C-alpha cells in the first residue's frame, strides 16, 4: 500500500509548493481537499486521520488545532509552522543539524520543519558551536533578506497588487524593528546560544530567495581561528551532504556580489565564508530559497526520511 500524504493548507504558498514537488510521485497517495473546503474542520479531521503523514502548512494557531485533532491517532506530522519548533516532544527537521538528526527524523512521529531564516542562521552557527570555536556567549547577529513569498498569501497580494488596500510599494524594507521575531527562539535553541541573536530581517521585491548573514569577529572565537579554519569546520560538518554545499574558498573569493535569487526554485543551500585571509573578521553567509530548503523542500526531505526513502 502506498503511504497516504495529506497537506493541510495545500492551497497556501508553502502547501502549493509541496504539492508541486509531489506531483510526479507515483509512490505516494496524495489525499486532497478542494480549495473551497480548505477550512472545513470535519473534512480536514477525516483527511488528517486517514493520512500516514500529515504536512501542516497552516498558521501557528491552526497547526496547534490540527495537532489536537490528531491526538490519539497514528498519523505522523510534519509541521511547517513556528508552533512546535522548540517543543521537546518534537524533532527539529533540519536533517544536517548534526550526525544523528536525519535518523531522529526517520524515527519521529512529530517533526517540526525549521523556519526559513533559522535554516540559514543555524547552518552557519551550529558547526562552530559544536567544534568549540564559538562559545555559547558569543554575541551573534543575524542580518537577512527574504523574497516576499516568505510572508505567505497576504504579503504576496500586498506586494503584487497595486490596488491592494495595504499595498507595499517598497522595493526593499527592514522589519522586525522591535527586535522580537518568532524565529529567534529556534535560532537560540538549535544554535546553542546563551542569548537570542540580534535578528534584522528584511524583504526584497523578488518572490523567492534569501540571504542570511552572520558576521563574526575572529578574535572573539576560541583560539582565534583564521578564515580558513572556520571554512574547514563548516566543510567538515557538511561533508557528504547533498543539499547543503559549503562553497570552496577559491570560488567565493572570486565573487564580487551575492544574488539573493541564486537558488530560487531549488531545494539547495549554499554556505560561504567571506573575508580576507589574515583579516580579523569573516561574514558567514547562507543562500537559499525561502520556499525550498527554507520550507517546502525541507518538508519533502523530511517526509522522504520518515518514509525511509533517504
When binding is defined by CB under 6 A, the residue of 116, 131, 227, 285 that contacts ligand NDP is 116
Round to whole Å and give the CA distance between 201 and 199: 6
Of 54, 95, 88, the closest CA to residue 71 belongs to: 54
Helix runs in the chain, H state only = 13-22, 41-50, 60-69, 101-107, 116-130, 152-160, 184-190, 227-237, 249-253, 297-306
**Binding to ligand NDP in span 231-260, by CB under 6 A:** none
Who contacts 131 (Cβ-Cβ below 8 Å, separation ≥6)? 233, 236, 237
When binding is defined by CB under 6 A, the residue of 7, 22, 48, 62 that contacts ligand NDP is 62
By CB under 6 A, tell whether 68 contacts ligand NDP.
no
Contact criterion met (CB below 8 Å) for 6 and 46: no
Nearer to ligand NDP, 127 or 207 (CB): 207
User: Which window, 56-64, 172-180, 253-261, 273-281, contacts ligand NDP (CB under 6 A)?
Assistant: 56-64
Identified catalytic residue from 116, 159, 234, 287: 116
Residue 229's binding partner out of ligand NDP, ligand X2W, none, with CB under 5 to 8 Å set by partner kind: none
> What 8-state DSSP symbol labels residue 293?
I
Least distance in Å: CB of 110 to ligand X2W? 16
Residue 77's binding partner out of ligand X2W, ligand NDP, none, with CB under 5 to 8 Å set by partner kind: none
Nearer to ligand NDP, 27 or 36 (CB): 36
Q: Decide the pairing of beta strands 198-204 and 110-112.
A: unpaired
Who contacts 1 (Cβ-Cβ below 8 Å, separation ≥6)? none
Nearer to ligand X2W, 120 or 225 (CB): 120
Contact criterion met (CB below 8 Å) for 133 and 223: yes
Least distance in Å: CB of 39 to ligand X2W? 19
> What 8-state DSSP symbol labels residue 223?
T
Annotated catalytic, 57? no
Nearer to ligand X2W, 101 or 158 (CB): 158
Least distance in Å: CB of 193 to ligand NDP? 21
Which residues are tagged catalytic?
Answer: 116
Chain contacts with ligand NDP (rule: CB under 6 A): 9, 11-15, 38-39, 57-60, 62, 80-82, 115-116, 149-150, 152-153, 290-291, 294-295
Amino acid at each position: 500500500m502506498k503511504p497516504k500524504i495529506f497537506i493541510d493548507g495545500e492551497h497556501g504558498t508553502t502547501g502549493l509548493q509541496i504539492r508541486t514537488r509531489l506531483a510526479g510521485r507515483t509512490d505516494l497517495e496524495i489525499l486532497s481537499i478542494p480549495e473551497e473546503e480548505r477550512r472545513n474542520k470535519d473534512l480536514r479531521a477525516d483527511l488528517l486521520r486517514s493520512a500516514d503523514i500529515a504536512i501542516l502548512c497552516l498558521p501557528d494557531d491552526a497547526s496547534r488545532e490540527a495537532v489536537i485533532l490528531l491526538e490519539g491517532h497514528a498519523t505522523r506530522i510534519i509541521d511547517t509552522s513556528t508552533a512546535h519548533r522548540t517543543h521537546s516532544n518534537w524533532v527539529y527537521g533540519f536533517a544536517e543539524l548534526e550526525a544523528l538528526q536525519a535518523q531522529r527524523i526517520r524515527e519521529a512521529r512529530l517533526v517540526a520543519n525549521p523556519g526559513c531564516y533559522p535554516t540559514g542562521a543555524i547552518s552557519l552557527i551550529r558547526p562552530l558551536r559544536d567544534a568549540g570555536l564559538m562559545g555559547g556567549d558569543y554575541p551573534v547577529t543575524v542580518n537577512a533578506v527574504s523574497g516576499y513569498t516568505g510572508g505567505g498569501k497576504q504579503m504576496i497580494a500586498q506586494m503584487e497588487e497595486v490596488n491592494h488596500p495595504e499595498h507595499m510599494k517598497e522595493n526593499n524594507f527592514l522589519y522586525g524593528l522591535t527586535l522580537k521575531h518568532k524565529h529567534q527562539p529556534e535560532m537560540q535553541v538549535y544554535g546553542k546560544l546563551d542569548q537570542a541573536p540580534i535578528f534584522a530581517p528584511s524583504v526584497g521585491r523578488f518572490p523567492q530567495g534569501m540571504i542570511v548573514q552572520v558576521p563574526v569577529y575572529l578574535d572573539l572565537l576560541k583560539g582565534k581561528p583564521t578564515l580558513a579554519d572556520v571554512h574547514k569546520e563548516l566543510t567538515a560538518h557538511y561533508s557528504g551532504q547533498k543539499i547543503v554545499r559549503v562553497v570552496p574558498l577559491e570560488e567565493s573569493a572570486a565573487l564580487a556580489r551575492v544574488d539573493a535569487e541564486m537558488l530560487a526554485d531549488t531545494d539547495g543551500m549554499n554556505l560561504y565564508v567571506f573575508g580576507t585571509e589574515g583579516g580579523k573578521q569573516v561574514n558567514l553567509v547562507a543562500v537559499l530559497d525561502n520556499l525550498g530548503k527554507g520550507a517546502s523542500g525541507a518538508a519533502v526531505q523530511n517526509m522522504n526520511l520518515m518514509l525511509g526513502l533517504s
